[in-house]
Amino acid sequence: MEGWITILIICGIYLALTLAMGIIPGLRISESVTGFVAGDRSMNLLILYFVMGASIFSSFAFLGGPGWAYSRGAAAFYIIAYGITGMIPLYFFGPKVRRLGEKFGFVTQAEILEDRYDSRALSVILAVVSIIVFIPYLTLQMKGAGYVLTTISEGAIPGWLGAGIAYLVVLIYVFFSGVMGVGWTNTFQGIFMMVIAWFIGLYLPYELFGGVGEMFTKIAESDKSTMLTAPGLTTGGQPWDWWGFSSAVIVSAVGFSVWPHFFMRAFAANSDRTMKLTIVLYPTFQLFLVPILIIGFTAVLAYPGIEPADTILPYVLTQLDLPIVIIGLVCAGTLAASMSSGDAILHSAASIGIRDGVAKFLPDHLNTDHKQRKYIRILVIVISLIAYYFAVFSEVPIVNLLLGSYGGVAQIFPLVFCMFYWKRANRAGALSGLLAGLAVTLLFLFYPEWRPFPLHEGIYGLIANIILLITVSLATQPESEERIQRYRNA
């Protein structure tokens, strides 16, 4: 009984440090929307690097990553594969987006697209899509945090309390400091979880098999060796086909750079150099997925048959006779992974909801910077409560909603690309492309048996999207020359 109290003390220290790191930078930020949403465009390389890295590596990385490796083998390499090229478009878009933001005061993705395509409807559609995607995403992060605290406290801390405490901390620093709170805490959380991941990823195979090489040799000699052959297994345990693997990698890579909470960080960069270097250094963050997957592989032979697979990391921790401090650190690391994504999503969802959604309908009520900032903060609280409700009280299977989100988010990419590189792209083309892409993706998500080939639903969406974007744009009037030049020369 003594053990879990030590663990909770470690988690408590972690939460206290995070809270302090989140509140202090808020004292220096200006009392404006730009300050709250884009950190006064002042993020340096260190902060931007960790914000971009830690936002993506969520509790999915700490719980889902090992789960995939454990149950689906080589299929888990997909998680690394799509990020390898997925980030690179931002090397080109990022500096342009940053400069336009500085010049015209944009702080969200929808704002810049709204301006290029001269369409308020586009902004509202993007706001709706973002919030639909973000709420389940945030809900899953909360569930992950609650789950970890429940497991290690042997049930003494129920899920509602664990998730509540962790996300109360997030709520406070996001409310108070905006994106700079996200930035500083993510730097702390990012370093912390990288160290933990490498340590556990190397320690577990050493403890159980005598080393990483010995562990893989044992799997390769066993009857499970086929799971190490790419592209691994499906969720049902059957061999995955190359069509499915390849199309999933492409859709996720296309969508990666245009995730709204990710894309809008370009507005926070303090220079083009910072933006570009963040992309250059991004693969160093991705290497951290290697030990994460090794954790899952370690359990394949040592602990077969654990259901659900996502619980494999906490399960292994409870089985081994590890020093209690290490278990505490791993739990705090998992909380860090959950919170470092949750904070960025919460902040972005509220900012986008007000700037791109509500403000378009109530321009008279949200006409000042001060009011907008106030309402963004209120929405931070509202979204936290909604996500908390789904995390704790609702039985709606939201995981399915999130799985569909990659295909949906990828539909934003053609619009962003054409914003800078195709001057004929116009409002009608952008709207019809985006709507058709979303509709087709949803159709094949809900009716997978209608797909002509076993490809990811997002591929069909992208095909419809690009065809309509091109043909409708060509069939209608181009945007004004002055508007296009602004983006050509950005």
Partner 1 sequence: MSRRKIIFLVLLLIIQLCLIWPVYPLFSNVHPLILGIPFSFAWVIFVLLSAFLLVLWYYLTDPEVDSSSSSSEVE
Where along the sequence are the contacts to partner 1 (CB under 8 A)?
Answer: 41-42, 44-46, 74, 77, 80-82, 84-85, 88, 91, 95, 211-217, 220, 225, 228-231, 242-243, 245-246, 249-250, 253, 270-274, 276-277, 279-280, 283-284, 286-287, 290, 293
CB-nearer residue toward partner 1: 64 or 95: 95
Among residues 383, 396, 357, the alpha carbon closest in space to that of 109 is found at: 357
User: Phi/psi of residue 278, each to 5°?
Assistant: -60, -40
Residue 137 exposed, middle or buried by CB count within 10 Å (0-12, 13-18, 19+): buried
- Name the minimum Å distance from CB 359 to partner 1: 28
CB 111 within 8 A of CB 278: no
177-203 in b/e form (b: 16+ CB < 10 A) is bbbbbbbbbbbbbbebbbebbbebbeb
CB-nearer residue toward partner 1: 59 or 270: 270
Residues 6+ apart with CB under 8 A from 162: 145, 146, 147, 148, 149, 150, 153
- Name the minimum Å distance from CB 69 to partner 1: 10
CB-nearer residue toward partner 1: 355 or 456: 456
Residue with tokens 């200006």: 30
Residue 99 exposed, middle or buried by CB count within 10 Å (0-12, 13-18, 19+): middle
CB 199 within 8 A of CB 177: no
SS3 of residue 233 by DSSP: strand
- Name the minimum Å distance from CB 41 to partner 1: 8
- Name the minimum Å distance from CB 226 to partner 1: 8
Among residues 164, 315, 134, 300, the alpha carbon closest in space to that of 232 is found at: 300
- Name the minimum Å distance from CB 4 to partner 1: 35
Q: What is the dihedral of CA 304, 306, 308, 313, to 10 degrees?
A: -90
CB-nearer residue toward partner 1: 275 or 383: 275
- Name the minimum Å distance from CB 486 to partner 1: 17
- Name the minimum Å distance from CB 283 to partner 1: 4
Residue 237 exposed, middle or buried by CB count within 10 Å (0-12, 13-18, 19+): exposed
CB-nearer residue toward partner 1: 278 or 348: 278
CB-nearer residue toward partner 1: 92 or 160: 92
- Name the minimum Å distance from CB 227 to partner 1: 9
CB-nearer residue toward partner 1: 220 or 385: 220
CB-nearer residue toward partner 1: 159 or 296: 296
CB-nearer residue toward partner 1: 225 or 367: 225
Signed CA dihedral, 246, 250, 256, 260: sign only = negative
CB-nearer residue toward partner 1: 99 or 424: 99
Amino acid sitting at position 487: Y
- Name the minimum Å distance from CB 55 to partner 1: 19
CB-nearer residue toward partner 1: 47 or 345: 47
| The length of the chain, given as a count of residues | 490
29 vs 88, 176, 180, CA distance in Å? Answer: 30, 10, 8
Cα distance between residue 104 and residue 116, in whole Å? 12
- Name the minimum Å distance from CB 89 to partner 1: 10
Cα distance between residue 139 and residue 234, in whole Å? 25
Among residues 76, 82, 415, the alpha carbon closest in space to that of 250 is found at: 82
Residues 6+ apart with CB under 8 A from 364: none
- Name the minimum Å distance from CB 106 to partner 1: 16
